[in-house]
Amino acid sequence: MSYTTTIKEEILNNISSKSEIIAELSGYIRNNGHATANGFQLTTENVAICERIEKQIETLYEVKLQKEVKDSLNFSKKDLLVLTLTDKKDFILEDIGYQDSKGNYLERPPQYIVGANEEIRAYLKGVFLSSGSINDPKTSRYHMELLIEQAGEAVFVQMLLNLFDLNVKILTRDKGYMLYIKEADKISDFLKLIKATQAVLYFEDQRIYRNKKNQANRLNNCEQANMDKIVATATSQLDDIIIIEENLGKSLLDDKTQEALEYRKKYPEASLKELSEIISVETGNSISKSGLNHRFRKIKELANRFKKMENEEEQ
């Protein structure tokens, strides 16, 4: 079962008031239904959604919908469930804010449908049940979307969502509009908005896991970069020492710098910090990392002098 299906099945079990049921039906039907020669049809592959719509309309309006099972045309293994509304069609469509008293489609539902926060939440819940999806947070990216056919409806739903500071964006698609959210915290807020409690807990658990995993990867990368830097520094210092010794120039260095030279040869893989601690313990003379670095600068300067002399002789 997909994460989206899990969310939808959870919110289908929420208990709603009569005004919330009307708002939910409005959000669902305005984004799913269409008129046909035989009546008004709703389609879904989700059995639980189909049963909920049937039950809600029968309870509110004492009307039974005609149900038909068809083969899905989008290569899905699931059958397509088609609900057809014929009895009291115009009355119901007007009551849930799909059309006006003359049968004209409404660009947006009447204010009484979404007059309070709970009704707005219910309307958005209906829209999500109709056309929404959310990526499983285990995947590489966070993404939530709603696919809406009518331009006015798309702008209206975007406005409702952004009343809750969800920062919803909208894109034009071939067959309508896509409203989407890519921010993880905003997707989590949307799930709270439609009262998908278990889905929120799962989403946040996966966010924490991914954040910890990413943090661990960053630390490992940082540690590897530090190790690479230590190895490069030590290798460069050893190369300088080889040049000095090949030119019999060790005696040109003061005693403390010669001591640093010998300890680098003895501990070729140690960092400057580790090497300064080793020298301090073994000699009894404390030396800081910066002090040791100063001695290696003298070694490099002498090695560069020998390299310069060698280049001049070659010329």
Higher pLDDT, 217 or 194: 194
Number of domains in the chain: 2
257 shares a domain with 310:
yes
**Domain membership flag for residue 214:** no
173 shares a domain with 227:
no
239 shares a domain with 129:
no
108 shares a domain with 149:
yes
Q: What does DSSP say about strands 80-85 and 132-134: parallel, antiparallel, or unpaired?
A: unpaired
**Domain membership flag for residue 10:** yes
**Domain membership flag for residue 215:** no
Q: How many Cβ atoms are within 10 Å of 237's Cβ, its own excluded?
A: 21
**Domain membership flag for residue 270:** yes
Is the distance from CB of 46 to CB of 82 less than 8 angstroms?
A: no
Is the distance from CB of 105 to CB of 98 less than 8 angstroms?
A: yes
Q: Which of 195, 211, 231 is the last residue of a domain?
A: 195
Flag whether pLDDT at 75 surpasses 70.
no
**Domain membership flag for residue 145:** yes
141 shares a domain with 72:
yes
228 shares a domain with 87:
no
Mean pLDDT of 280-284: 89
**Domain membership flag for residue 52:** yes
pLDDT in tens, 80-96: 899 999 999 999 999 99
79 shares a domain with 131:
yes
CA–CA separation, 273 vs 291, rounded Å?
A: 10
245 shares a domain with 164:
no
**Domain membership flag for residue 148:** yes
pLDDT in tens, 99-133: 999 989 999 999 999 989 999 999 999 999 999 99
Query: What is the reported pLDDT for 141?
Result: 85
CATH code, domain with 156: 3.10.28.10
**Domain membership flag for residue 175:** yes
Q: Which of 27-41, 46-60, 181-195, 215-229 has the lowest mean pLDDT?
A: 215-229
Query: What is the reported pLDDT for 76?
Result: 56
Helix (H, G, I), strand (E, B) or coil at 245: helix
Is the distance from CB of 116 to CB of 25 less than 8 angstroms?
A: no
pLDDT in tens, 212-244: 777 777 878 887 888 888 888 889 999 999 999
Flag whether pLDDT at 71 surpasses 80.
no
233 shares a domain with 90:
no
113 shares a domain with 31:
yes
Per-residue confidence band for 7, with pLDDT thresholds at 50, 70 and 90: very high
| CA distance readout (Å), 120 to 116, 127, 184 | 6, 11, 22
Helix (H, G, I), strand (E, B) or coil at 41: strand
Flag whether pLDDT at 315 surpasses 80.
no
Residue-range definition of the domain harbouring residue 231? 220-314
